[in-house]
Amino acid sequence: MKKLFLLLSLLCTVGATLYAQNDKKETLSEAELLKAQQAYLDSVESVMKYQTGTIQLANNLAKINIPTGFKYLNAEHANVILTDVWGNPPSEGVLGLILPANMKITDGQAYAFIIEWDDMGYVKDDDADEIDYDDLLKEMQDDTEAANEERKEAGYPTVKLVGWAAKPFYDKDRKILHWAKEIAFGETPEHTLNYNIRILGRKGVLVLNAVSSMNQLSLVNKDIDKVLDIVEFTDGNKYGDFNPSADKIAAVGIGGLVAGKVLAKLGILAVIGKFFAPLLKLGKLLVVGIVAGISALWRLITGRRKEEETSEESATETTDDAAETTEIATVSDSTTGTNTTETPENKEGTENPSA
């Protein structure tokens, strides 16, 4: 807690510096923004408390055995990353995240598996052998394309489901489903990798979603076997402990999990940072106070808001409308080297477990 107060003090210091700068001039250069951004990321990294070994998840339904070469951040620190660095609102469904031990979570090239619990109920897997994943992909692509007009009207970049980066595979013995999608956002040339893992339990599904750029697919593939084995449900919560006379049955099967009919929620639909990166070169940043100043800066850097027209006398902040979502995606900004997230809108509804 003390370190978090120190972090808050540092952010206020950065905000005060920006305020002083803007007292003399309105326009902050891109270099100044990037310098402030790096100071913020360094301060966040300094308070992260990584763990290894066996971790009992907060809901006590399962424990995870952190594999060699990985490290874990608990729910509190994971939410700092997801909200303050990647641009999502707080979520009670997040249980933590794991990432390679040689990476910093604030590094633009880092990838992580976000861990969540979805209490949807017992997922029947009797449809697993009947699914045509090529047909399912086409249906998902059509649904994604149909939602793009609404995204554009809301001021968000379009989303294109390019295809499978790894075709869905369900291990019936271990009750583990995993697949990966290649996604394109707006005009961003670098595509996004969304690697999904669902581990079935008695009362729901443990959700792991890896977010990275497509050029990290080989790295994720190299690590995936380690990650698939990390979860161990506690006694009474395993898939085989299902009691048909007492337990809830999920509304979807294996195909529904892949199609995203049940939401893996991380929060608001964020504007992709890379999509709006050119605004950093064009815009004014008028700071009206220490806290408001640092908030405005980070909304610009993380892509959580578009630039507003400002006057010399006042500045008005606008808050993005919340939109609940199905997919988590991160895009590496080639200008800033940071990761921001986008979670495409789910038309089916919301549910808080999310990756």
Q: What are phi and psi of 66, to 5 degrees?
A: -65, 120
> What's the average model confidence in pLDDT over 303-316?
44
CB hemisphere CA count around 140 (13 angstroms): 25
Residue 5 lies in a domain: no
CA-wise closest residue to 326 among 281, 260, 277: 260
250 pLDDT higher than 70: yes
Q: Which of 259, 289, 312 is the last residue of a domain?
A: 259
Residue 7 lies in a domain: no
Q: What does the pLDDT read at residue 298? A: 45
Q: What does the pLDDT read at residue 345? A: 39
Same domain (yes/no): 127, 52: yes
Q: Among 40-49, 181-190, 317-326, which is the least confidently predicted range? A: 317-326
Same domain (yes/no): 240, 316: no
pLDDT (tens digit per residue) in 54-111: 999 988 899 999 999 999 999 999 988 888 787 666 677 899 999 999 999 888 778 8
Same domain (yes/no): 192, 307: no
Q: Which of 227, 259, 291 is the last residue of a domain?
A: 259
Return the percentage of the chain with pLDDT > 70, whole number.
Answer: 64
Same domain (yes/no): 36, 91: no
Q: Which residue has the higher pLDDT, 302 or 195?
A: 195
Mean pLDDT value across the chain: 73
Same domain (yes/no): 90, 211: yes
**Where does the pLDDT of residue 15 fall: very low under 50, low under 70, confident under 90, or very high at 90 and above?**
low
Same domain (yes/no): 207, 333: no
> What's the average model confidence in pLDDT over 329-341?
40
Q: Which of 229, 259, 289 is the last residue of a domain?
A: 259
Q: What does the pLDDT read at residue 74? A: 94
281 pLDDT higher than 70: no
pLDDT (tens digit per residue) in 319-329: 444 334 334 44
State the residue range of the domain holding 62: 48-259
pLDDT (tens digit per residue) in 122-162: 999 999 999 999 999 999 999 999 989 988 888 878 889 99
Q: Are 210 and 186 in contact (CB under 8 A)?
A: no
202 pLDDT higher than 70: yes
Q: Are 120 and 254 in contact (CB under 8 A)?
A: no
Domain count, the chain: 2
Q: Which residue has the higher pLDDT, 174 or 338?
A: 174
* Residue with the two structure tokens 């002083």: 20
pLDDT (tens digit per residue) in 222-239: 999 999 999 999 999 999
